[in-house]
Amino acid sequence: MKLTVNHLAKQFTLHNRDGITVTGFSDVSFTVADGELLALTGPSGTGKSSILKAIYRTYLSSSGTIHLHRKDGSIVDLTTCCENSILELRKKEIGFVTQFLKILPRITALQSVASPLIERGEYEKNARETASQLLDSLNIREELFHLSPLTFSGGEQQRINIARGVIAPRDLLLLDEPTASLDEDSSNRVLDLLLELKEKGIAMIGIFHDKRKTERVADKVYTINREI
Ligand SMILES: Nc1ncnc2c1ncn2[C@@H]1O[C@H](COP(=O)(O)OP(=O)(O)O)[C@@H](O)[C@H]1O
Ligand SMILES: [Mg+2]
C-alpha cells in the first residue's frame, strides 16, 4: 500500500464571515497501492480538489487520517506530521500537478521542465535531453523550447506543467484535471504518460473531467456524492 485515507473530513471556517463553516468533504476513505491510479469523481463542488490539497497538506484536515507508507517501511500521518516533514516529503515523495503552471519570468520551457531532474542530481545536459524528449512526446513544438511559457496557450502551459510534474516522478503523484484544457491528441499523450508511470510503480490519485478518460487510466474510482 502507498496511501491509506481513513474517515477524512474537512470543514472550512470562514473567519471573515462570522465563522460560518462550509463542508469541503466528509467521511472519505480509500487506499492507493504502488503502481495504481485512483480516480476521484463526482459533481463539481463535492471536494475533489480539496481532498488532493489535504493530502498535499495545502489544507489542514478537520478529522481522519492520511497514512503515507514510505519505502523504508515507516508510516507518516500527513494530517498531523510536522511542517518540516511535509516540506521534505514534497521534495522527494509526493508530487502535485495542479491545473495551472506557475510561470517564473525569464525561465525557458526547457529549463523549467529539466529543473526537477537537475535538483535530483542529474547532469544538466542529460536533464535537458530528457526534458526535450518529454516535451516532444507531449506534442510541444521545438521552436517553443527556448521561450518563456508566459506567452504559451493554456494547453501548452498545462503540458509544461505536467512535464515538470512527471520528469522526476515522486512515489505518489496527485493530479488535478491534468487534461482539462487539452485537445484529444494531447490528452491521449498525457494519459499514455500516466500509464507509463504506473508501470514504474508510481501511485497516483487523479481527477479527470470525463468518464472516458477516467476509464482509460484508472484502476479504481472513488465517487463522491453530493450530500442531501
Ligand atoms: N479555501 C476554501 N475556503 C472555503 N471554502 C472552500 C475552499 N476551498 C474549497 N471550498 C469549498 O469546498 C467545497 C469543495 O470544493 P472543491 O474541493 O474545489 O470541489 P471540486 O474540486 O470537487 O469541484 C466547495 O463547496 C468549495 O466552495
Ligand atoms: Mg476541483
Please give the residue that has the higher pLDDT: either 209 or 11: 11
Tell me how many degrees the CA angle 155-167-184 measures, rounded to the nearest 5.
30
Residue ranges around ligand 1 (CB below 6 Å): 12, 22, 24, 44-50
Side chain identity, residue 40: L
Q: Rounded to the nearest whole angstrom, what is the distance from the C-alpha of residue 45 to the centroid of ligand 2?
A: 7
- CA-wise closest residue to 196 among 126, 138, 122, 116: 138
For 130-185, the pLDDT digits (tens) are: 999 999 999 999 999 999 999 999 999 999 999 999 999 999 999 999 998 899 99
Atom number of ligand 1 nearest to Cα 42: 22
pLDDT at 17: 85
Residue 54: CB atoms within 10 A of its CB come to 25
What is the residue whose three cell numbers read 497501492? 33
Please give the residue that has the higher pLDDT: either 181 or 227: 181
**Confidence bin at 102 (pLDDT 50/70/90):** confident
Residue type, position 68, single letter? L
User: What is this structure's pTM?
Assistant: 0.95
Closest C-alpha among 138, 188, 125, 126 to residue 166: 138
Average pLDDT for residues 42-68, to the nearest whole number? 97
Q: Contact at 8 Å (CB) between 160 and 182? A: no
Ligand 1: which atom is nearest the Cα of residue 53?
A: 17
SS3 99: coil
Q: Whose CA is nearest to atom 8 of ligand 1?
A: 50
